[in-house]
Amino acid sequence: MYGSLVAPLPNQLMPEAIESIVKSNPYYKAEQTFSELIEAENLDQRLDQFEEQIRYFETALSFALKEAYDQLEGSDAAHLFLQRVLYRINRLNLFWYDDLTHYTNERSTYLQKVRNEIEAAWQAWELSHIDTEAYHSVDIKQALLDRYQADLDPELSEGAIYLRQEMPFEGYRYLLAITSFDGLVEASRLSRILGGAANEVQATLTKVLLEEYGNGRLSRKHSTFFAKMMTELSLSTQPEAYFDLVPWEALATTNHNFLLTECKRHFLRYNGGLAYFEVAGPSAYRNYLAAAQRLQLSDGAMGYWDLHIKEDERHGRWMIENVTLPLVDMYPQQAWQLLLGYDQEKLMGDRAGTAIVAMIRHGVETGSLPAIGVE
């Protein structure tokens, strides 16, 4: 149904090697069980018919929550299971132009219960990595401006150097495959926070959204440019075709943004996070672009990065000057949440980037990258 979270993809998109990786996860069967529940017709009205499956899934869920968040060294398998389950629920908030019956449980109270249970434990764990009390004793505007200057052109990390100088062609294809999870569907969810009273902040956010979406022209949409890169490198342009390659750290950033946009109480945190995303985006895309240029790829195989660098440099400035700084004046007592959102997006984004590079690098060095592409 959805480019498959747990069911095998079509053969040309899901080689046996990748399928075996997915099935090796100890939570695989529990995830299959959840997949059946989420697609059951009128789930809430038929919970008693699925008593055994629910008990099995919830037992696994309880174990995963403990393994991921109650241990000093959390289980990657548990993290992955939880983020995949959470994503399956969250993605019902986006429309995929598919069979309308797929959305039969989008308002399910049972799914909401599962989502809330995961988010409560996960968000507490995420916040435990940040000293939120420190935000209450700083000049918020100056702190935002300092972060802006520091993140415009940061020093190259070890991962960035690998991308620029060492990553081979097949590693670049894997990079596109994994990042296509977001790149092909425009899942920034910015559109979900624009409703409400009109003001200068809303106007700036709308400008950012319109440019991201090509000002209403499909040929100029960012996802169209991403699809061109995929086609150039014989990769599938089907959304979520390579979902099973996505590490939990990258899924967490997506689920985090779903949470912040669904809860208006987190409006400031979301905009702080979006500010970092737009400010830091160009530096990341320059690494990808440098890798493509070193590999002597065509303009079509790197065009998305070039477009994003040019636009996000402008968007980052807009987000700091015309969104976050005005919001500090509008919400002086809660403005610290802008810094929390900014720093949390940076922390989670860096974590995801590190995980993706580590996956690619290990696969390249060991020769264990399964073949991907279309036949």
Location of structure tokens 């520091």: 150
Residues 85 and 155 in one domain: no
Alpha helices, H only, the chain: 16-23, 28-38, 51-69, 76-90, 109-127, 140-152, 158-165, 169-183, 200-212, 222-232, 248-262, 267-294, 303-318, 325-330, 336-366
Own/partner contacts of 100-108, CB < 8 Å, gap of 24 or more, are 101/41, 102/1, 102/2, 102/39, 104/41, 104/42, 104/43, 105/38, 105/39, 105/40, 105/42, 105/43, 105/44, 108/43, 108/44
pLDDT at 185: 84
Residues 244 and 113 in one domain: no
Residue 195 has pLDDT above 90, yes or no: no
How many Cβ atoms are within 10 Å of 55's Cβ, its own excluded?
Answer: 11
Residues 164 and 246 in one domain: yes
**233, 176 Cβ separation under 8 angstroms:** yes
| Residue finishing a domain among 127, 157, 183 | 127
pLDDT in tens, 310-325: 888 999 999 999 999 9
Q: Residue 373: which pLDDT band, with cuts at 50, 70 and 90?
A: confident
Residue 352 has pLDDT above 80, yes or no: yes
CATH code of the domain containing 259: 1.20.910.10
Residues 66 and 159 in one domain: no
Quick one: average pLDDT of 60-86? 95
| Residue finishing a domain among 101, 127, 153 | 127
CA pair distance 274, 208, nearest whole angstrom: 10
Residue 373 φ/ψ region, left for φ over 0, alpha for ψ in the -120 to 50 degree band, beta for the rest: left
Buried/exposed 16-52: b ≥16 CB within 10 Å, e otherwise: eebbeebeebebeebbbbbbebbebeebeeebeebee
**How many structural domains is the chain composed of?**
2
Location of structure tokens 């969104």: 323
CA pair distance 366, 358, nearest whole angstrom: 12
Residues 153 and 216 in one domain: yes
Quick one: average pLDDT of 268-296? 96
pLDDT in tens, 255-266: 999 999 999 999
Domain enclosing residue 94, as ranges: 16-127
Q: Residue 69: which pLDDT band, with cuts at 50, 70 and 90?
A: very high
Residues 210 and 313 in one domain: yes
The verdict on residue 1 lying in a domain is no
How many Cβ atoms are within 10 Å of 224's Cβ, its own excluded?
Answer: 18
The verdict on residue 374 lying in a domain is no
pLDDT in tens, 103-154: 999 999 999 999 999 999 999 999 999 999 999 999 999 999 999 999 999 9
pLDDT at 334: 98
The verdict on residue 147 lying in a domain is yes
Choose from 127-141, 175-189, 295-309 the range with maximum mean pLDDT. 127-141
Share of the chain above pLDDT 70, in %: 93
Residues 224 and 337 in one domain: yes
Residue 375 has pLDDT above 70, yes or no: no
Location of structure tokens 């909401």: 112
Quick one: average pLDDT of 81-97? 95
pLDDT at 267: 97
pLDDT at 23: 67
Residues 224 and 94 in one domain: no
Quick one: average pLDDT of 286-291? 97
pLDDT at 13: 38
Residues 182 and 107 in one domain: no
Residue 12 has pLDDT above 80, yes or no: no
Q: Six-digit token pair at 148? A: 């802006």
Q: What is the mean pLDDT of the chain?
A: 91
| Residue finishing a domain among 108, 127, 146 | 127
Q: Residue 291: which pLDDT band, with cuts at 50, 70 and 90?
A: very high
Residues 22 and 80 in one domain: yes
